[in-house]
Amino acid sequence: MASAAASSCSSISMMFLTHSSAATSSTAHRLLPPGCLRRRRLHCHPLQMGPASLRCLTFPSSAAAPSPPHVVVPHASLSTEVNTKVIDGKAVAKQIRDEITAEVSRMKEAIGVIPGLAVILVGDRKDSATYVRNKKKACESVGINSLEVHLPADSTEEEVLKHISGYNDDPSVHGILVQLPLPSHMNEQHVLNAVRIEKDVDGFNPLNIGRLAMRGREPLFVPCTPKGCIELLHRHGVSIKGKRAVVIGRSNIVGMPAALLLQREDATVTVIHSRTSNPEEITRLADIIISAVGQPNMVRGSWIKPGAVIIDVGINPVEDTNSPRGYRLVGDVCYEEAIEVASAVTPVPGGVGPMTIAMLLQNTLISAKRMHNFE
């Protein structure tokens, strides 16, 4: 049941990710620590949530409960010492968006080109519509043109391919996103492969992943969420070279590319997954932890080496009767325990989440610059 619930909730748990359906990883119930008895994931469709309760420590609700989606935890109530430990993804993402805004403006003035991102949405899923709307808003906020086509759920694969082909050939489009999931009658892989690799700003094309894995090769685009994780480490001044890193989760969109990126930066990387027999023991050896499994509060304080840096990719909805929405979002890492042991932690929400869209904008800008040889 835990497994099924995790799956059904994945689209909301990945609210900030580029692809709603392609959640962080297959669930890993074997990874659940035995001590965290009060944790319960919401067993429901994301848009039909009922009551539940989830806490890893008995903090007063008002202090511990993160805000609903899109509202960043202010940490105002935390001590100064704790504040320095928080990797503020919202602030970093804003800084990056400001940099993008400046670059987009400089490019427009210099060569008259405005980067363009095209999004293809098929069907009427409300969550997908929300993601697409958020991407559009984000584009507008930095001056990137956003184009969108919304096709009915009963469209044929050929119609989708026709639109992809149009965007492939459109010189004003520098990035193309197909919002997932597609209706079940379509072959997702077939559709995604139709996107020209030079415009595949998601970076999920196998050719791109291969280049990411190979020494001496460069990917055209680094996938947005793992790129955001590494960017948070860089901008927080965390040294990666020679460090031991553990990536929890081996999904194609987060865990696997995050491990490849850490290795490219000379970390010694171990990937933990659902078949790992001693995840706690292995995680405790790490200087850097990136968790992307979609298991609320799985990583407890006892898993963390004192002084480790933690990037928490999980965005998991859990019951919270004190919240007006009846739920709140928590990460894969028990934040209250982690903040006591680690040297730095990303909060959820307000950590990796805001970085994903910032990296999508950055990839679109990179693509436009590359196509026009603009430096």
Q: Helix, strand, or coil here: 316?
A: strand
Tell me if residue 179 is catalytic.
yes
Identify the H or E element spanning 127.
helix 126-142
Residue 190 binds a second copy (CB under 8 A): no
> Which of residues 52 and 269 has its CB atom nearest to a second copy in the complex?
269
Least distance from a second copy to the Cβ atom of residue 180, Å: 14
Give the one residue of 37, 76, 109, 275 binding a second copy; rule: CB under 8 A. 275
Residue 268 binds a second copy (CB under 8 A): yes
Residue 272 binds a second copy (CB under 8 A): yes
Quickly count: other Cβ atoms within 10 Å of residue 155's Cβ: 18
Least distance from a second copy to the Cβ atom of residue 242, Å: 5
Tell me if residue 154 is catalytic.
no
Could you identify the residue written with the tokens 């994780």?
229
Give the one residue of 8, 282, 323, 336 binding a second copy; rule: CB under 8 A. 282
Phi/psi-derived region of residue 270, left when phi > 0, alpha when psi is between -120 and 50, beta in every other case: beta
Quickly count: other Cβ atoms within 10 Å of residue 115's Cβ: 30
Tell me if residue 202 is catalytic.
yes
**# chain residues binding a second copy, by CB under 8 A:** 34
Q: Helix, strand, or coil here: 57?
A: coil
**Token reading at 18:** 């580029």
Distance CA 167, CA 94 (A): 29
> From the CA atom positions of the chain, what is the Rg in Å?
20
Q: Which of residues 200-259 bind a second copy (CB under 8 A)?
A: 205-217, 241-242, 244, 250-252, 256
Residue 277 binds a second copy (CB under 8 A): yes
Exposed / middle / buried, residue 100 (Cβ in 10 Å: 0-12, 13-18, 19+): buried
> Which of residues 31 and 121 has its CB atom nearest to a second copy in the complex?
31
Catalytic residue among 88, 127, 200, 202: 202
Q: Among 158, 187, 161, which Cα is nearest to 176's?
A: 161
Least distance from a second copy to the Cβ atom of residue 265, Å: 9
Residue 269 binds a second copy (CB under 8 A): yes
Active site residues: 135, 179, 202
* Interface ranges with a second copy (CB under 8 A): 205-217, 241-242, 244, 250-252, 256, 260, 263, 266-273, 275-277, 282
